[in-house]
Amino acid sequence: MATTASPQALASPPTLPDGVDIIPRKFTFRDLDAIPKYWFGGNKLITHLENTFSILIPPGERFFIQSVRNYADRVDDPEFAKLVQAFIQQEGHHTRAHNDFNAHFAAHGIDVKREEAYAARVMESASRWLPKKIQLGITVFFEHLTATGAHVLFAEPELAKHMHPEALRFWRWHAAEELEHKAVAFDLLRKVGGGYLTRMVSVVVGLLWFGPAFAIMARRMIKADPEPLTDAMRAQAREIDRISREVQRDLLLAYFKPGFHPWDQHDEAYVAEFYASPEIS
């Protein structure tokens, strides 16, 4: 299946770069209970921001899956159809693993059920009211954001040093699969006639629809946590933001080029390195 990517070749079916395949792999926590309340740097602020992201992931990935399924019958190439199915399976596994991870927050006093219900309502409203092409465009944009986060996690080992090892193993598993399938929704959007304008409109709609929800949830979880937010935590959060910002900025800006393709960013080496590591055993 792995052949050289041909990002701009509309006439030929989408392919993967050499050495990359989309293989759904289940994740099992070795010791979920060992993950502390502040698993990222011992820092309340950063951990709640990451937890917000994690709680948004299960309904978000259900939204991604549905937005792709809406157009799955338009895929006539059997190889591309396999990639679409593998994308759906990977996101399904991610949803289940994040549900386990998120349920664990409840042991630390976080009202997980309330936040999950809120996140689900926001996602369901998008599925109900937005045009299907824009829903797919939003998936393409958020797949780029998750691939960007995944790239940063592998490209900046400094970040990993702040994370609890079990949480790191979990996020790296998810990140590697996000890199593997990062172009599937993009290639599908292009296949069904979604061009630059659709992508750009979807950025705006996606940010307006989901950005406030992220802010509301993060703020609510931080406020509900009685532990004090110290100056040292704020300083550490700024430092972690500084480490990732430069890489993130270039990748985010690349999305706004009309000829952008996810595999313009070569992440093959990170994927190979991860699967060669003992983390996946």
Site residues, Fe ion (CB under 5 A): 91, 94, 178
Q: Minimal distance in Å, beta carbon 160 to Fe ion?
A: 19
CA-based nearest residue to 39, from 175, 160, 157: 160
CA 194, CA 229: separation in Å to the nearest integer? 44
Sequential DSSP letters for 84-101: HHHHHHHHHHHHHHHHHH
- Asked if residue 144 lies in contact with residue 255, where contact means CB atoms within 8 angstroms, the answer is yes
Q: Minimal distance in Å, beta carbon 70 to Fe ion?
A: 16
Select 91 or 166, whichever has its Cβ closest to Fe ion: 91
CA atoms within 13 A of residue 138's CA, in its CB half-sphere: 25
Q: Minimal distance in Å, beta carbon 37 to Fe ion?
A: 24
Q: Minimal distance in Å, beta carbon 155 to Fe ion?
A: 18
Select 45 or 83, whichever has its Cβ closest to Fe ion: 83
Q: Minimal distance in Å, beta carbon 95 to Fe ion?
A: 8
Residue nearest to Fe ion (CB): 94
Under 8 Å CB-to-CB from 80, ≥6 apart: which residues? 13, 14, 187, 191
Select 118 or 141, whichever has its Cβ closest to Fe ion: 141
Report residue 198: phi and psi, to 5°.
-60, -45
Select 62 or 108, whichever has its Cβ closest to Fe ion: 62
Angle at 161 between CA 160 and CA 166, to 5 degrees: 65
Select 15 or 54, whichever has its Cβ closest to Fe ion: 54
